[in-house]
Amino acid sequence: MLRAFAVPRDPGPLVTPPQLRECHGCGLFQIVPAMAANMRSDCERCGTPLRATRADPTGRCLALTFASLVLFAVLWLSMLMKVSTAGIVHETTILSGPSELVRHGLWPLALAVAFTTAFAPLIKFAGTLYVLIGLRMRTLPPNLRGIFLIARRMGTWAMLEVLLLGVFVAYTKLGDLVTIQLGPAVYALGVLTVVIVWAELALDPQAVWEEIERRGQTHAPMPPLAPLEYRPGAAGCEECKLVCVPAEHDGRCPRCGSRVHERKPDSLNRTLSLALAGAVLYIPANVYPVLTVIQLGSGAPSTIMGGVEELVSSKMYPLALLVFFASVLVPLFKLISLIGMISVTSLPGTAQTAGVFLRQRTKLYFIVAWIGRWSMVDIFMESLLGALVQFGRAVTIDPGMGALAFCAVVIVTIVAAEAFDPRLMWDAAARNPHRQGRPSAAPSGAAAAALPSG
């Protein structure tokens, strides 16, 4: 039986039909109602967003993505900063950071910086542009679904907004060492960050998948009508959100071709292994130096906490708080949160607590999955400082091995969050025989609420 849901008066013409969806926050199957433009549908059990419609789901994003690609070219081809001291002038570009890391033998760190600030954003922008332009052509270019899959997956690793914060931190820290002049790349990066967020808000990815399906470029033949009732063995595709029975299509989504599982395979073991690896790496990341500042022949290596203490002693309290939060608290918060969620879900003797604060723990998971990338601000800052401050005997900043361990912590915790399946927390609560009114992991005919979207 369908539950009632509230819609605004006179919402305008409907742009989507009713659709069966699985919530990837709690695993509840529910019907997302027909919606007008600029509306959002949330899971009626855990509140996870299921669909957000747009009046122009692809056109505005096409223009913004093209602008992003132009700004991205300016960012990488123009001057970032001009620094000078003791009569020596040094100009740098974004490429100077990875190049300096390679010169110090830290090529894995250079590869991580180059991938997150160059390759991943470029693949995301170019892939999205290829798909959105292709859908407007009379004859479709090849492999739209594959290109769109890759472009969407790159969103996790494209960290230009984090790079902007790293540039700000580096600029502030350099104030007492050298004279700085900002170049066109800094302003391009600032505008690009705004445009990226705007483009992401303007896009309706599910509308793109539906158009790819309508134009017949799917992985396998699609059924004539999308079912509105749950079928045994059905699961929701994490990429394009289509509910299908993977056993009928060799374990893949018939629309996008992704692997589909009722739950992420071996999720708890993989997440625990990665979280423990991150905890081990967290120790050398905080013990070994991340930077060595040598000024007029004197200086000493500095750890992450040492850098925070230097900022406090220089009375840069907001910057010290920012670095402490991003580099110390966020990785620790992610590790504790992931291990805590695994413990409550899987360890013996936790059945009584499995259903406690389920909705809040689901929201916590999505916060953990989002916030981890911001710890890369310290890596970007160190990369920039190493490239900018190379003035021989006057002043030199060299990155250290602690930065490599810290970067590994950030990457491992991001992968760990991606490996965890929050639906397992709801499954564990449903298995608790002592929980009254426990949430059911079985399919539901409940309708998600449709609300106006900002």
pLDDT at 349 over 60: no
State percent of the chain over pLDDT 70.
85
Length in residues, the chain = 454
User: Could you tell me the two tokens for 94?
Assistant: 């974004």
User: Bridge-partner residues for 83, per DSSP?
Assistant: 90, 180
The residue-averaged pLDDT of 104-127 equals 94
Confidence (pLDDT) at 149:
96
Which pLDDT score is estimated for 223? 73
Mean pLDDT of 136-157: 94
Instruction: Give the start-to-end residue ranges of the domains of the chain.
Output: 13-53, 59-204+266-430
Confidence check: pLDDT of 437 > 60: no
pLDDT given for residue 297 in this prediction: 59
Instruction: Give the pLDDT band of residue 4 (cuts 50, 70, 90).
Output: very low
The yes-or-no verdict on residue 300 having pLDDT over 80 is: no
Mean pLDDT of the region 171-194:
86
User: Dihedral through CA 11, CA 12, CA 15, CA 16, nearest 10?
Assistant: 30
* Per-position b or e across 125-141, b if 16+ CB within 10 A of its CB: bbbbbbbbebbeeeeee
- pLDDT of amino acid 432: 55
Q: Which residues contact 228 (CB under 8 A, 6 or more apart)?
A: 18, 19, 20, 31
Beta strand 88-92 with 49-52 is unpaired
Q: Taking all residues of the chain, what is their mean pLDDT, rounded to a whole number?
A: 85
The lowest-confidence range among 58-72, 224-238, 407-421 is 224-238
The closest of 380, 9, 378 to 186, measured between CA atoms, is: 380
pTM as predicted: 0.88
The C-alpha atoms of residue 117 and residue 154 are separated, in whole angstroms, by: 11
Res. 309 pLDDT band, cuts 50 70 90: confident
Amino acid 88: pLDDT: 73
pLDDT of 222 reads 83
| For residue 218, pLDDT beyond 60 | yes
User: How large is the average pLDDT for residues 439-454?
Assistant: 50
> Does the pLDDT value for residue 441 go beyond 50?
no
User: Does the structure show a pLDDT above 50 at 9?
Assistant: no
User: Average pLDDT in the 34-58 region?
Assistant: 91
How far apart CA 406 and CA 60 sit, in angstroms, is 38
pLDDT computed for residue 351 by the predictor: 52
Structural contact between residues 325 and 377, judged by C-beta atoms closer than 8 angstroms: no
pLDDT at res. 1: 30
Residue 256: its pLDDT value, please?
Answer: 94
Q: How far apart are CA 389 and CA 85, in angstroms?
A: 9
- Residue 113's nearest CA partner among 158, 150, 77 is 158
204-217: pLDDT as tens digits: 999 999 999 999 89
pLDDT, residue 396, reads: 73
Of the candidates 13, 5, 14, 2, the one whose C-alpha atom is nearest the C-alpha of residue 42 is 5
Reply yes or no on whether the pLDDT at 136 is more than 80.
yes
Name the burial class of residue 56, with classes exposed (0-12), middle (13-18) and buried (19+) by CB atoms within 10 angstroms of its CB: middle
State yes or no: pLDDT of 7 exceeds 50: no
pLDDT value, residue 365 = 95
pLDDT at residue number 296: 59
Q: Give mean pLDDT, residues 179-183.
A: 85
Is the pLDDT reported for residue 5 higher than 50?
no
| The pLDDT of residue 338 is above 70 | yes
Q: How far apart are CA 342 and CA 364, in angstroms?
A: 13
Which pLDDT score, from 0 to 100, does residue 8 have?
47
